[in-house]
Amino acid sequence: MNRRESHVSPRDPVVGGVLVRLADDPAHRQAALTTLAEHPAITLGEAIGDWWTLAVEAENASEGRDLHSWIATVPGVDWVEVVSVHFEGMAEEAGPSPAVEVMA
Amino acid sequence: MNTNTVTASSVPAVSGLDRRRFLKHAALASAAAVAATRSGLTPPAQAVETDTRWDKAPCRFCGTGCHVEVGVRDGKIVGIRGDAKAEVNKGLLCVKGYHVGMILYGKDRLTQPMLRRNGRMEVITWDEAIDVVARRILAAPERFAVYGSGQWTVAEGYASQKLMKAGLANNHIEPNARLCMASAVTGYLSVYGVDEPAGCYDDLDTCDVLILWGNNMAEMHPVLFSRILERRNRGEKIRIIDFSTRRTRTSEFADDYLEFRPQSDLAIANGIAHLLIRSGTYSKEFVEKHCAFKTDTAEHTLDGRPISFADYCRELEAYTPEKVEEISGVPAEKIRMLGELFGRKDVRITSVWCMGMNQHARGTNINRLVHGIHLLSGHWGRPGDAPTSLTGQPSACGTAREVGTLCHLLPGGRVVANPEHRKQSEAIWNLPEGRLNPKPGYHTVQLFEKFCTATDKGGDIQTLFTQVTNPGQSLPNLHKLFKSKQGLEDKFLIVCDVYPTATTELADLILPAAMWVEKNGIYGNSERRTQQWFRMVRPPGNARDDCWMTIAIARRLFELGHPGMKDKEGKFLFTFKNEKGEEVPVWEWERYYDVNVDRALFEEYRLFTRLKHKDLAPYDEYVKARGLRWPVVQQADGSWRETKFRFMEFDDPYVKKGAGIQFYHSVTKDDRAQVWFAPYELPPEVPDAEYPFWLGTGRVLEHWHTGTMTMRVPQLRNAVPHSYVEMHPSDAAEKGFKNGDLVKLKTRRGELELPLWISGRGHPPRGSVFVPFFDERIMINDLTLDAVCPVSKEPDYKKCAVDVQRGSQRSARPPGPTI
């Protein structure tokens, strides 16, 4: 067993379903919606109850995580929840545990 | 809105979309379904994916029991979404949950049985592997032990339990749940006479005050914590009180953060009880109707000693707010605040806890005391008024506690020491009278001591079989309890797992296992909810189901003539028939899925569940449901009804009409719960001149337990790529440490170098450090203490004495996690 090797393979897009809760203030809400809608990787869905639905598209998992973090920082966004991840190619990214890295 | 805006209901036909566009619509539809469920609206129809099959499963990780929907295409998992139909999570998932599908696809999955020969692991056939195990057992059945898991499915645990206790008359079987929730078990047993919480997660929806006793819920049970925060977002008032020995993410959301010295939670709980008595605000009616009193004794037994209410009050006299402040460091005014809060009748208080109270040198006692202040104050018996333990593994309740895979238990809450319980079990298993062994086996710490001690020095466990767990990283004091196995020639370690781990490093035989939705399964979560799923994808290579391995070993023992593998009529213990009544040889892997072995074992196990009123419904009811909370009782119309609140007349069918509340498993046989007194006692090891800091260990949001699964998911691994030590900035400054410096931790048991993270995610107080245990390259359990609670036998991972010095090397690692 080789516990040291590492694998990263070609990837497909990562597509996530996301819920955001926006601020109560109408101006802040509108500003947030505009910012989110303008982002090329985000598809704005509809308002349901307290939530807005988003589809978030990224070229890989790392970019997806960054995008998730960015959404949380958009002024007027109070709360972000990820509810689904479609990761057809991401399974190929999974690697072994980085078992015995040596501290330099 | 701009052109990016679409609605879920506008999803056009799949055939008209490219794949990427379709996935976006599917993602929006999933989000819409969850948003609608959470808003009390009817969820819109999901987009139809003709090439992806979706099915339900409980998440593989913690004890919360969230349900996911798993999307499978071409035999591979391609998507995960929160299950909007699931009451537990209402469509939400945590960061681990929505990556759970990827845990199957680490590149280093174990796919072939391997036997160590001349120091090297060699691939062997399954026939050889099963034969090796069977012959090891046959050579010395009484020196064989099984170490399983709260991640075992119910069927896996039940089969293993049956092999050991019914087949081999050997009680040396333990689940790793001994390390995480045994103190909760002894707490429930000694207070109510029966294990597991009376309340459920619904309490979180109705409480006015949530008290977290050493429980970092924001990271350890994040979906449950989101449930609380969502109530706040809706404008509801809910007060969060965070008792902790270090500031965590949970503390950021708390109204009151109360930092206490390790072990002093005992004094705090007594301080609250003291104030309830002194002020007369305890619930006289509840106490008179429903409570009796006990005290712990010098022998620290499960039963303790009965005392009067007057004695109980006298014991508490010393725990004045000022005295509690002196012991705990929590200001007296805060203790008074808590006393007043519990004295109020107009609020509902829910207490929750997990490892902070359970991995505790007096774990049973702190569990007893927290139940006690709820009972004493009458904050018990209404939705929102509840003391509830949470579990860290997905089936610690279902498999370890209910199936009874601990060394002293039989299924359904029975104990091996009770002749009547043995008789009942022998009847269900159709065993000859007297087959079952009345002597409890070794508890986990003892078991590993015996395995890691030379045979001629009393180490009478020679062959150890582990499934679905990684003791080589998770046991305390690893040099003593695991690593000292090395070099003991007559000891033989068999490890069933899905990936190479610290445990497989010392294995003599490795058996590659199927995981999660590669097999059928049933779990039982923290709130008594039994959850079922079906196999959705095939395991890689030659990996096989853990339950099959157990049955195949039993069959080989049967073939080799072990008499215990037969029931009293001479039939094999694991006999399964198909719908035509024909016996199916499921020990042949090719035939294993010819019948649903899970269903058959579950139906047999169900027969055990009624003694303690933990009734389970037929298997097929769970196929339809997103879990059901026991007792699940059949109604007059033939339907099956779950129970949310036990011992309460309004919901529990076993409570006598007119009783209101009835503790029908009372140890005093009078329907009363026991309110315990237990004193504050010093922990077994405290900082001193040589080891001046406290060391605590635990988990982080992104990694689950020993990281064998989550460290193989790049998103989770990259978020927290390695372990670290948290330290207070003033302590670090005094020592001249900077963020990212490599420091050396040293205890009486070992030493370790790791990077320092100052002012990171967690904030330990001065004089203490914290290290997570997920990183197999930085084994903090080389340093932890193996002292156990004398009643539950659960080790204390939360406090020992440590020295902190500059490391010998410079760190190449970034200072702490990247987030």
Is residue B603, in this structure, part of any structural domain at all? no
DSSP E strands in B231-364: the ranges are: 239-244, 256-259, 291-295, 305-307, 349-353
Say if residues B65 and B39 touch (Cβ distance below 8 Å): no
Is residue B362, in this structure, part of any structural domain at all? yes
A50–B101: do the CB atoms touch at under 8 Å? no
Residue for token pair 């030659």: B542
A84–B104: do the CB atoms touch at under 8 Å? no
Q: For A44, name the nearest residue in chain B, comparing CA atoms only.
A: B5
List the domain range (segments joined by +) for residue B328.
182-389
pLDDT in the model for residue B6: 41
Q: Residue B192: which CATH number?
A: 3.40.228.10
Please say if the pLDDT value at position A10 is more than 50. Answer: no
Give pLDDT tens digits for B217-239: 999 999 999 999 989 988 899 99
pLDDT in the model for residue B766: 98
Give pLDDT tens digits for B380-430: 999 999 999 999 999 999 999 999 999 999 999 999 999 999 999 999 999
Is residue B473, in this structure, part of any structural domain at all? yes
Q: For A101, name the nearest residue in chain B, comparing CA atoms only.
A: B777
pLDDT in the model for residue A94: 60
Please say if the pLDDT value at position B129 is more than 60. Answer: yes
- Same domain assignment for residues B323 and B266: yes
Active site residue B181: yes
Give pLDDT tens digits for B113-122: 999 999 999 9
- Same domain assignment for residues B405 and B462: yes
Is residue B402, in this structure, part of any structural domain at all? yes
Active site residue B200: no
CB pairs under 8 A between A and B: 218
Cα–chain center distance at B510: 25
- What DSSP designation does B579 have? T
Q: Residue B462: which CATH number?
A: 3.40.50.740
H or E element: which one contains B73? strand B67-73
B812–A103: do the CB atoms touch at under 8 Å? yes
Active site residue B392: yes
- Same domain assignment for residues B439 and B405: yes
A65–B719: do the CB atoms touch at under 8 Å? yes
Beta strands B409-410; B414-415: pairing state = antiparallel
pLDDT in the model for residue B819: 30
pLDDT in the model for residue B49: 67
Amino acid sitting at position A45: G
Cis omega (within 30 of 0) for bond into B679: no
Beta strands A14-22; A77-86: pairing state = antiparallel
**Which of A13, A19, A38 is the closest to B31 by Cβ?**
A19
Please say if the pLDDT value at position B272 is more than 70. Answer: yes
A91–B93: do the CB atoms touch at under 8 Å? no
- Same domain assignment for residues B204 and B90: no
Is residue B818, in this structure, part of any structural domain at all? no
- End of a domain among B74, B102, B130? B102
Please say if the pLDDT value at position B376 is more than 70. Answer: yes
A62–B98: do the CB atoms touch at under 8 Å? no
| Tally of CA atoms within 13 A in the half-sphere of B543 that contains its CB | 22
Beta strands B742-747; B633-634: pairing state = unpaired
Q: How confident is the model at residue A66 (pLDDT cuts 50, 70, 90)?
A: confident
Residue closest to B444 by CA, chosen among B417, B471, B463, B462? B471
**Residue of B66, B354, B355, B711 marked catalytic:** B355
- Same domain assignment for residues B404 and B526: yes
- Same domain assignment for residues B371 and B290: yes
Task: Give the count of beta carbons closer than 10 Å to the beta carbon of residue B69.
Answer: 21
Q: Residue B75: which CATH number?
A: 2.20.25.90
Residue for token pair 């109560």: A24
Please say if the pLDDT value at position A39 is more than 90. Answer: yes
pLDDT in the model for residue B46: 64
Question: A8: which chain B residues are within 8 Å (Cβ-Cβ)?
Answer: 714
The number of distinct structural domains making up chain B is 4
**Which of B27, B36, B92 is the closest to A48 by Cβ?**
B36
Beta strands B742-747; B800-806: pairing state = antiparallel
B355: left (phi over 0), alpha (psi -120 to 50) or beta: alpha
Segment B259-268 mean pLDDT: 98
**Residue of B59, B180, B354, B565 marked catalytic:** B180
Is residue B655, in this structure, part of any structural domain at all? no
Residue closest to B397 by CA, chosen among B200, B193, B624, B668? B200
A94–B105: do the CB atoms touch at under 8 Å? yes
- Same domain assignment for residues B447 and B561: yes
Q: Is B366 or A103 the better-scoring residue by pLDDT?
A: B366
- End of a domain among B79, B102, B125? B102
Say if residues B802 and B695 touch (Cβ distance below 8 Å): yes
Give pLDDT tens digits for B177-192: 999 999 999 999 999 9
Please say if the pLDDT value at position B737 is more than 70. Answer: yes
B183: tokens are 């103190």
Please state, in angstroms and rounded to a whole number, the distance separating the CA atoms of residues B534 and B782.
38
Q: For B812, name the nearest residue in chain A, comparing CA atoms only.
A: A104
Question: B776: which chain A residues are within 8 Å (Cβ-Cβ)?
Answer: 97, 99
- Same domain assignment for residues B489 and B344: no
pLDDT in the model for residue A59: 77
Say if residues B377 and B285 touch (Cβ distance below 8 Å): no
A84: tokens are 């689904």
Question: B31: which chain A residues are within 8 Å (Cβ-Cβ)?
Answer: 17-19, 45, 51, 53-55, 83-84
Please say if the pLDDT value at position B619 is more than 70. Answer: yes
Is residue B665, in this structure, part of any structural domain at all? no
Residue closest to B184 by CA, chosen among B165, B204, B198, B173? B198
- Same domain assignment for residues B505 and B462: yes
What percentage of chain B carries pLDDT values higher than 90? 89
Delineate the domains of chain A, giving CATH numbers in brackets.
14-90 (3.30.70.920)
User: Where is average pLDDT lowest: A28-32, B318-322, B346-350, B632-636?
Assistant: A28-32
Mutate one of A73, A97, A102 to test the B interface: name it (highest B CB count within 10 A). A97
Cis omega (within 30 of 0) for bond into B631: yes
- What DSSP designation does B763 have? B
Q: Is B22 or B171 the better-scoring residue by pLDDT?
A: B171
Please state, in angstroms and rounded to a whole number, the distance separating the CA atoms of residues B686 and B692.
8
Query: CA angle, B692 as apex, B689 and B697 as ends, to 5°?
Result: 150
- Same domain assignment for residues B467 and B424: yes
Q: For A78, name the nearest residue in chain B, comparing CA atoms only.
A: B233
Please say if the pLDDT value at position A93 is more than 70. Answer: no
Strand partners, B509: B115, B494
Active site residue B648: no
CA of B501 vs chain A CAs: smallest distance (Å): 9
H or E element: which one contains B365? helix B363-377
**Which of A1, A46, A99 is the closest to B121 by Cβ?**
A1
Question: A82: which chain B residues are within 8 Å (Cβ-Cβ)?
Answer: 93, 95, 98
- Same domain assignment for residues B336 and B416: no
- Same domain assignment for residues B514 and B415: yes
Question: A49: which chain B residues are within 8 Å (Cβ-Cβ)?
Answer: 35-36, 38-41
- End of a domain among B332, B367, B389? B389
pLDDT in the model for residue B818: 40
Is residue B672, in this structure, part of any structural domain at all? no
